[in-house]
Amino acid sequence: MSPDFPVRCHVVTGKGGTGKTTVAAALALALAAGGHTVLLVECEGRQGIAQLFDTPPLPYEERRVAVTRGGGEVRALAIDVEEALLEYLEMFYNLRRAGRALRKMGAVDFATTIAPGLRDVLITGKIKEAVTRREDGRRVYDAVVVDAPPTGRITRFLNVTSEMAGLARSGPIKTQSDGVMAVLRSPQTAVHLVTLLEDMPVQETADAIAELTEAGLPVGSVIVNMATEPALPAEDLVRAAAGRLTGADLAPGLTAAGLPEDTDLAEALAAEVVEHAQRWAAQDALRARVESLGRPTVELPLLPGPMDLGCLFELAGRLEEHLGAEVAA
Amino acid sequence: MTAAASGDAHRPARAAGTPRYAPPVDLAELIADPDTRIVVCCGSGGVGKTTTSAALALAAAEAGRRVVVLTIDPARRLAQSLGLGELDNEPRRVDVPGVDGELHAMMLDMKRTFDDIVVAHSTPERAEVILANPFYQTLSSSFAGTQEYMAMEKLGQLRAADTWDLIVVDTPPSRSALDFLDAPNRMSRFLDGTMIRLLTAPARAGGRAGFKFASAGLLFFSRIISKVLGGQLLRDISAFVSALDTMFGGFRERATATYELLRRPGTWFVVVATPEPDALREASYFVDRLSAEGMPLAGLVLNRTHPPASTRLSATRAEVAAESVDDGDGAPAALVAGALRVHAERMTLAMREQRLADRFTSAHPEVGIRAVPAAAGDVHDLEGLRVMAEALTGPDDDTPTGVPRTRVLPARRG
């Protein structure tokens, strides 16, 4: 285990559309920098990780998707619930063939449909296994990053014991979920929340922090994704946000810049600036709300153009600084 | 809708390679038409289905109709402004000053809707057993698809009540827009599945020929389940399945009936998407699916676009001008350069959005588009809904720049 990362299991959640898969991938790259081995786990069968790293769809198998400086690497795993169940049956009961028969009968589908909590136990069980896996007495992974279900479902997903409590009050599944909970509630786990500076994602982040805390699950950082910079000097921004900017304020400057005299255009530009400033003011108000959540916060910039590996490394750089600051604090 | 379809028919045939233009969508006519009884707003998660539904319902009430909007998971502030309490599974009238019609709104309570079905379809004793079963509790609150299924069920109930002349339905937030249409089938498939049959076989077959095989399968299944999950779990499953058994017929029937409701004349689908590749891809799948199912599509609402306030200055020219301002100094220069950069960014964004819309249109030339500009903040009150309703239902060419509301940027000439 590497001493510089006390947290080894990073769970990344966020409202749909906030870019949690991207953030999870960037975080995995950040943690791998400097020679660490990191596992990036996908649990909802979307193959988003494969798309980001531009690789063929991931099988239920740990595959290297990126190398980082200093000999680090990121491996990725897309958890398949059926496969995880078969693995579980084999590992604990030596029942692989029976498991296959059950699958043929539709039992696996049935069981995970009727008790969605069972699905979560299997997925989190696999995550726990990766976090605690050792080979020759050494940890296989310095860190595990999970691209987890969205904020609306995250507490239920991680809080497997209580989810299963109504269903399995004793027996092996209960033992299994207790073991998973022990890891997820320990200080080696952190649940990070990805948000945008928009009303609903910030609200959901606040709700999720409250729920996670209530459930005794450790909350990590809040990651503000796709943050933008204002294009105007601060005092102009305030004036424009208040709507006190007109075409007349811009017209002379526009003519000086070599544009033909056009009062309509000046008015249109002023209207766009006012909207830009109002949008920015709304974001800034939300920024204050994010700060009031009292969690370590990092902002990732909105990058122009499509997301590719280069962009991921750029975001990873920002996260690395943040992690460094976190450890130093 | 008809306007869109005939509009396309009147269009002269184009040579391959020339751009096609999306026909307009007349949502004002659609919601005012007394023959329109149900409008379903679909789309992938996070595209603004709830606000679109609420804004359409408001516009319909303003057009004098008695309308109910069924929302699934509204943002808290929007719910508050519509007077939606969380403990309510029935429509409530929303007080809208100066409106001819009536606006009613409700928020779906998935578990309660499910409970009501159980109660309606079994004896009181049996219902009690089912409602108390831990499996029922997880199934009714977290089965992937329960929400979609219950939304359909509620829609069926609202339609059957015949109290409203228009029902606007928001669909559950899911990754795929298709989930809504697939839910009844998925539920039926689940109920018809091998496992359910195995588990209920002893009770059903009662010693007839199938019994032997079924019980052998069941024994095998029980052995493993008790080993892996524990015996108590299996007893709960069996109790649950056999209690539900009598209701299966009812479930399936209702699912089929509601699905049919969606194909009846008077039902229209509005597909909502943001100008993003993922959302438009989902919209595209959904449009194909609707056409395969013979379900009528009113058009695409392209939500949260960023049309510039003027299209007379291109992004490139704005950038160049911004640079030449930067050479000058002083605060006004920074303001003017900033304004030019804001405009350049806006033009670039609008171009990207228009390109994505064009791509959608080239795949679905018959589908009308209505672009709805992004509000500067969240839409969370009646005033915000009014602005959005105007953008949804206003005349097609009535924009500040004269760009028709089928587009983000003007069509290129020549």
List the CATH number of the domain containing A173: 3.40.50.300
A240 and A135 fall within a common domain: no
Residue B330 has pLDDT above 70, yes or no: no
Mean pLDDT value of segment A50-56: 91
Interface touch B134/A167, C-beta < 8 Å: yes
CA–CA distances in Å: residue A82 to residues A120, A131, A176: 12, 20, 17
A261 and A137 fall within a common domain: no
Residues 6+ apart with CB under 8 A from B72: B50, B107, B108, B147, B151, B170, B171, B172, B173
Residue B327 has pLDDT above 80, yes or no: no
Among A171, A250, A264, the residue with its CB nearest the CB of B336 is A250
Q: Specify the pLDDT at position B41.
A: 95
A110 and A67 fall within a common domain: yes
Chain A residue numbers touching B344 (CB-CB < 8 A): none
Interface touch A254/B321, C-beta < 8 Å: yes
A48 and A106 fall within a common domain: yes
CA distance A224 to chain B (A): 17
- The answer to whether B148 touches B171, Cβ cutoff 8 Å, is yes
Rounded to two decimals, the ipTM of the complex is 0.81
| Number of domains making up chain A | 2
| A70 at interface of B, judged by CB pairs closer than 8 A | no
CA distance B317 to chain A (A): 9
Per the domain annotation, does A2 fall within a domain?
no
Residues 6+ apart with CB under 8 A from A174: A161, A164, A168, B230
Neighbours of B99 (CB within 10 A): 17
Per the domain annotation, does A37 fall within a domain?
yes
- Lowest-confidence pick of A21-35, A222-236, A254-268, B66-80: B66-80
pLDDT digits (tens, 9 = 90+) for B179-195: 777 777 776 677 666 66
Chain A residue numbers touching B221 (CB-CB < 8 A): 102, 105, 107
Chain A residue numbers touching B315 (CB-CB < 8 A): none
Interface touch A231/B345, C-beta < 8 Å: yes
Q: Please tell me which residue of chain B has the smallest CA distance to A283.
A: B377
| Residue numbers of the domain that contains A252 | 230-292
- What are the boundaries of each domain within chain B? 3-192+247-310+356-393, 315-347
| A303 at interface of B, judged by CB pairs closer than 8 A | no
Q: Specify the pLDDT at position B413.
A: 54
A175 and A254 fall within a common domain: no
Q: Is A114 exposed, middle or buried (0-12, 13-18, 19+ CB in 10 A)?
A: buried
Interface touch B321/A258, C-beta < 8 Å: yes
Q: Which CATH number fits domain B3-192+247-310+356-393: 3.40.50.300, 3.90.1010.10, 3.30.365.10, 3.40.50.720?
A: 3.40.50.300
Most confident by average pLDDT, A20-29, A105-114, B171-180, B392-401: A20-29
Chain A residue numbers touching B139 (CB-CB < 8 A): 114
Chain A residue numbers touching B147 (CB-CB < 8 A): none
Q: Please tell me which residue of chain A has the smallest CA distance to B276.
A: A17
Chain B residue numbers touching A252 (CB-CB < 8 A): 332
Q: Specify the pLDDT at position B177.
A: 66
Chain A residue numbers touching B173 (CB-CB < 8 A): 16
Per the domain annotation, does A4 fall within a domain?
no
A108 and A240 fall within a common domain: no
- The answer to whether A7 touches A190, Cβ cutoff 8 Å, is yes
A137 and A169 fall within a common domain: yes
Among A156, A171, A257, the residue with its CB nearest the CB of B233 is A171
A163 and A175 fall within a common domain: yes
- How far is it, in rounded angstroms, from Cα A212 to Cα A216? 6
Mean pLDDT value of segment B258-280: 90
pTM, full prediction: 0.84
A175 and A248 fall within a common domain: no
A187 and A313 fall within a common domain: yes
- How far is it, in rounded angstroms, from Cα B117 to Cα B34? 30
Strand (E) or helix (H) holding B314:
none
A92 and A234 fall within a common domain: no
Interface touch B332/A252, C-beta < 8 Å: yes
- How far is it, in rounded angstroms, from Cα B204 to Cα B194? 14
Per the domain annotation, does A297 fall within a domain?
no
Residue B139 has pLDDT above 80, yes or no: no
Among B46, B143, B345, the residue with its CB nearest the CB of A16 is B46
Mean pLDDT value of segment A237-242: 94
CA distance A97 to chain B (A): 12
Chain A residue numbers touching B339 (CB-CB < 8 A): 231-232, 250, 253, 269-270, 272-273
A252 and A105 fall within a common domain: no
